[in-house]
Amino acid sequence: MRDDNHQGLEPSTNLQDGSNLRILIVHTRWNLHIVQGLVEGAKKAMIEQHRVKPDNVVIESVPGAYELPFAAKKFLEVSQIRAAEGANDLMGNVNLLGDLNLTSPTASAKPTTPSSTSSTRSKQAFDAVICIGVLIKGSTMHFEYICEAVTQGIMRVGLDSGVPVIFGVLTCLNEEQALNRAGMDEAGQGHNHGLDWGSGAVEMALLKTRSF
Ligand code: RBF
């Protein structure tokens, strides 16, 4: 097992080209100051290293880590329905779903357009989801139960949907550990694991199109 302070993920030897991908980040608002650093890391890796278009990185938030699996599943389903709807629209059918104008503290300040029609919205379903949160152990058993539920829940969403869902949840004994793993520690010795989650999401999304 390597030192936790080091980057665990060796970069892939091939360029993982994410220019045709659409990726969802769902993050918590618990421990938001640390979570924001991780979200920025994931975005940076996807956009700067893997050419994902900034408009194709969609960011939504939930209260806490326990809510991440549910939200990932719902947003994924909505995006898949919208994609199917888009295909139907081409054949003259109507849009049956209203617009979702969800906001996030870390989403870009781009104004939403409630009146946008189905023809102006992106139709591509999400190719991967990154669930980002920070769980910090307290003095009760809460931490253990939430960690277990979130880990199992996130894995289940991925396996059930067939869409990769990245486990971007830090499970730390204290805030110092979390800051270190978000690359936000005072000593500057830490590594932002959000970068690895961004790269991981692109690599896993591209698995779908690989031929063997
Ligand atoms: N959510 C987090 O994302 N990180 C935490 O560290 C965290 N700690 C919690 C500690 C306690 C005692 C409670 C009651 C909730 C905590 N939550 C935390 C919120 C949890 O994930 C969830 O949002 C709530 O339990 C509501 O379902």
Pairwise CA distance, residues 102 & 104, whole Å = 7
The residue whose CA has the least distance to atom 6 of ligand 1 is 135
Pairwise CA distance, residues 51 & 44, whole Å = 10
Domain 23-207 has CATH 1.10.3720.10: no
Identify residue 9 by its one-letter amino acid code: L
How high is the pLDDT of residue 97? Answer: 46
The residue whose CA has the least distance to atom 23 of ligand 1 is 64
Ligand 1: which atom is nearest the Cα of residue 66? Answer: 21
Pairwise CA distance, residues 128 & 80, whole Å = 12
Whether the CB of 66 sits within 6 Å of ligand 1: yes
Per residue in 24-38, pLDDT tens?
999 999 999 999 999
Per residue in 42-85, pLDDT tens?
999 999 999 999 999 999 999 999 999 999 999 999 999 999 98
Q: Among residues 197, 199, 203, which one has the least CA distance to residue 38?
A: 197
Active-site residue numbers? 142
**How far apart are the CA of 65 and the centre of ligand 1, in A?**
7
- Give mean pLDDT, residues 87-102: 56
Whether the CB of 30 sits within 6 Å of ligand 1: yes
- pTM given for the model: 0.86
The residue whose CA has the least distance to atom 22 of ligand 1 is 64
122 band by pLDDT with thresholds 50, 70 and 90: low
Q: Among residues 36, 38, 49, which one has the least CA distance to residue 181?
A: 38
The residue whose CA has the least distance to atom 16 of ligand 1 is 64
Q: What's the farthest any 2 CA atoms get from each other in the chain?
A: 59
**How far apart are the CA of 17 and the centre of ligand 1, in A?**
36
How high is the pLDDT of residue 210? Answer: 80
More confident residue, 183 or 94: 183
Among 44-48, 91-95, 120-124, 171-175, the minimum mean pLDDT is found in 91-95
How high is the pLDDT of residue 123? Answer: 74
Q: Tell me the angle at which helices 68-90 and 142-161 cross, rounded to the nearest 10 degrees.
A: 20
Ligand 1: which atom is nearest the Cα of residue 137? Answer: 6
